Amino acid sequence: MKLAFVVDPLDQLKAYKDSSIAMMREAARRGHEVHALEARAMFVRDGSVRSAVRRLAVGDDDHAWHRVLDERDARLADFDLVLMRKDPPFDQEYYYATLLLERAQAEGARVVNDPRALRDWNEKLAILRFPAFAPPTLVASDMARVHAFVDAHGDAILKKLDGMGGTMIFRVAAADPNRNVIVETLTDMGRRTIMAQRYVPEIAQGDKRVLVIGGKPFSHCLARIPRAGETRGNLAAGGTGVARPITARDREIAETVGASLVEAGIAFAGLDVIGDWLTEVNVTSPTCIVEIAEQTGHNAARDLMDALGA
């Protein structure tokens, strides 16, 4: 099979942590052709979605994990599978990329995850589809409503709807002297919609990344433990990743969410679970495959390739 991975620039990918590289390595081990392209390289000519594409030789050396064999322009529909793995932010260019990928689908390309689902499943707002699993949550731009939510719960997490890697996430207590300025900044004085959630103290045991592949939970998750003095477990924010078997509650959440993910055309997702609560549904470029595999020997890239029939 010929697989095309839509990724960030190859020299920016880090083999010691990048799930896209883990997928490429597994595809290469299975004898598939591995190609890479950047979203910005896609273009339309004569009604066909094309891109500058590099064919790669992929190896296990983390310092030189790939070699470019050739580069050419190709129709995306000529590949057996196109995997959209560009990292957020989900900005206007990302939006345009999903539209082009949707056109490639119309030409016969098989795209994972589905481009329309990438637009429809905002990674913060997707939890609203599953209210039974979400902590008490408010979505609003009105500052008075945000303050009322903080007052009602006493301790809350406030975050932008388009943040990533733990950026622009604040823990705000009712008596926090910086509370007003935090709310003003996050909402841009009431002009930007944000999310507020009741603080979940189980974050001290980790913000768990639970992988869902083909609608089914993977056997192990990565608990991202906040460093001392932090409330964010994100690895990008200094958290430490500890792989663990998933719990019965993790499985319950993942199986329920997974059924909806499959319906939407999302083959690979990463759920964020704190304690017993679902806090995010990551569908753009979920990570943690490498860390889980290194600590447990269980490689989610294999399960993903199996689920995709690759």
| Residue spans per domain, the chain | 2-120, 137-199, 202-307
181-197 confidence digits (pLDDT tens): 999 999 999 999 999 99
- The answer to whether residue 280 is catalytic is yes
186 contacts 172 by C-beta, under 8 angstroms: no
Note the CATH architecture for domain 137-199: 2-Layer Sandwich (3.30)
Catalytic residue flag (residue 272): yes
Chain centroid, CA 176 distance in Å: 31
Model pLDDT for residues 33-91, shown as the tens digit of each residue: 999 999 999 999 999 999 999 999 999 999 899 999 999 999 999 999 999 999 998 99
For the chain, what is the radius of gyration of the CA atoms? 20
CATH number of the structural domain 2-120: 3.40.50.20
- Single out the catalytic residue among 113, 234, 282, 299: 282
Give yes or no for a contact between 193 and 140, defined as CB atoms under 8 angstroms apart.
Answer: yes
C-alpha to C-alpha distance for 285 and 144, rounded to whole angstroms: 34
Annotated active-site residue 216? The verdict is: no
Say which of 224, 234, 250, 291 is annotated catalytic. Answer: 224
Question: Is 249 marked active-site?
Answer: no
- Find, among 53, 43, 120, 62, the residue nearest to 82 by Cα: 53
ω into residue 89 within 30 of 0, thus cis? yes
- Give Cα separations from 221 to 65, 84, 231, 242, 302 (angstroms): 25, 22, 19, 8, 15
pLDDT at residue 85, rounded to an integer: 98
Q: Are 20 and 87 in contact (CB under 8 A)?
A: no
Structure-block tokens of residue 12: 């920016």
Lowest mean pLDDT among 95-104, 158-167, 245-254: 158-167
Active-site residue flag, 159: yes
Mention every residue, 6+ apart, whose C-beta is less than 8 A from residue 237. 165, 166, 167, 226, 230
Q: Which of 123, 207, 250, 280 is catalytic?
A: 280
202-307 CATH = 3.30.470.20
Q: Reduced to 3 states, what is the DSSP secondary structure of residue 30?
A: coil
Catalytic residue (one of 103, 198, 208, 232): 232
* End-to-end Cα separation, the chain, in angstroms: 7
Instruction: Tell me, yes or no, if 17 is annotated catalytic.
Output: no
Share of the chain above pLDDT 70, in %: 99
Active site residue 282: yes
User: Is the pLDDT at 10 greater than 90, yes or no?
Assistant: yes
What's the pLDDT band for 253 if we cut at 50, 70, 90? very high
Per the annotation, the verdict on 224 as an active-site residue is yes
